[in-house]
C-alpha cells in the first residue's frame, strides 16, 4: 500500500504566529505516528518561518517511522542539517529564497551536473534521495541520470485539473510514473493532494510508494480531528 507521510509544517506556522510552544510540533510528530501515519515530513526554510532547525533535531530523537526532510539543497545550512540528522529520506526541492511554497520541479537536464554531485553526497551518507519533478518524461529521464533513488511528482496541476477532467489531469502523471518505473526509480507524489482527489490518483498511478501531504490534511484536521483525518487519508490509499 502507498505510504502516507504527514507534513507537519503547518503546526509550526501556527506555533510561530504567537510564540511559545503551542501547538507542540514534536508532539504533532509523535501523534502522527501513533495515529497511523507511515512517516513524518518537514520542510525547513532558511528563515525558519515554520519548521525550525531545532525542531528537526528534536523530532529525530523521538521518531519511530520514516523521517523525510524536504528543502533546498543549494543552501549549505540545509545540507549540513540533513547530513547531521540523517533522515530516512531527503527530498530536494528547487525553492527560491523566501518562496511561500514549492511551485515547480527541478530542470533535471539543465542542473544535471549539480544534481549528480549533491545526490552523491547524500547517498554516500546512507540517505535515500528523492528529486521533486514535474510530470514530464524528459525531466524523469534526467532525474534517473543523476543517480537519485526516487522522484516526487509535483501534483498541483493534477489537483487543479481534477474537478474539470480527472482523466486528462492525471494522464501526464501516469506516463511519467510508467517511465520512472522503467528506469528503476521509486515514486513519491505531493502538493495539493486531498480527500477529494487522492484516491483516484493512488489507484491510477502504478506502484506509488509514498504521498506527502500537509496543508490539506491539517486543514481537514481542524474540523475532523487529527487522528480521524490521518485515518481518512490512509483509507484513500488502500
Residues serving a catalytic function are 43, 70, 191
* DSSP string computed for 49-97: SSS-HHHHHHHHHH--SEEEEEE-TTSHHHHHHHHHH--SEEEE--PPT
C-alpha cell at 86: 540523517
Q: Are 204 and 196 in contact (CB under 8 A)?
A: no
Query: Can you tell me the distance from the alpha carbon of 40 to that of 160, in angstroms, rounded to the nearest whole number?
Result: 25
Q: What are phi and psi of 166, to 5 degrees?
A: -65, -30
Query: Can you tell me the distance from the alpha carbon of 60 to that of 108, in angstroms, rounded to the nearest whole number?
Result: 30
Strand stretches in the chain, DSSP E: 3-7, 39-42, 66-71, 89-92, 128-133, 150-154, 186-190, 210-213
Amino acid at each position: 500500500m502507498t505510504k502516507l507521510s504527514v507534513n507537519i509544517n503547518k503546526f509550526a506556522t501556527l506555533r510561530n504566529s504567537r510564540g511559545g510552544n503551542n501547538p507542540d510540533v514534536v508532539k504533532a510528530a509523535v501523534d502522527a505516528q501513533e495515529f497511523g501515519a507511515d512517516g513524518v515530513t518537514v520542510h525547513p526554510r532558511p528563515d525558519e518561518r515554520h519548521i525550525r532547525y531545532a525542531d528537526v533535531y528534536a523530532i529525530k530523537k523521538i521518531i519511530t517511522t520514516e523521517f523525510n526532510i524536504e528543502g533546498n539543497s543549494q543552501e549549505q545550512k540545509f545540507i549540513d542539517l540533513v547530513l547531521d540528522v540523517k533522515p530516512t529520506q531527503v527530498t530536494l526541492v528547487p525553492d527560491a529564497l523566501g518562496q511561500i511554497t514549492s511551485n515547480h520541479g527541478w530542470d533535471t537536464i539543465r542542473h544535471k551536473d549539480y544534481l549528480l554531485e549533491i545526490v552523491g553526497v547524500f547517498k554516500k551518507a546512507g540517505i535515500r534521495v528523492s528529486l521533486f519533478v514535474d510530470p514530464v518524461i524528459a525531466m524523469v529521464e534526467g532525474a534517473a541520470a543523476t543517480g537519485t533513488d526516487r522522484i516526487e511528482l509535483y501534483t498541483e496541476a493534477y489537483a487543479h485539473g481534477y474537478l474539470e477532467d480527472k482523466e486528462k489531469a492525471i494522464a501526464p502523471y501516469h506516463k511519467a510514473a510508467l517511465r520512472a518505473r522503467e528506469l528503476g526509480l521509486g515514486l513519491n507524489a505531493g502538493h495539493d493532494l486531498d480527500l477529494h482527489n487522492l484516491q483516484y490518483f493512488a489507484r491510477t498511478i502504478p506502484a506509488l510508494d509514498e504521498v506527502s501531504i500537509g496543508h490539506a490534511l491539517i486543514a481537514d484536521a481542524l474540523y475532523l480531528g487529527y487522528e480521524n483525518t490521518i485515518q481518512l487519508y490512509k483509507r484513500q490509499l488502500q
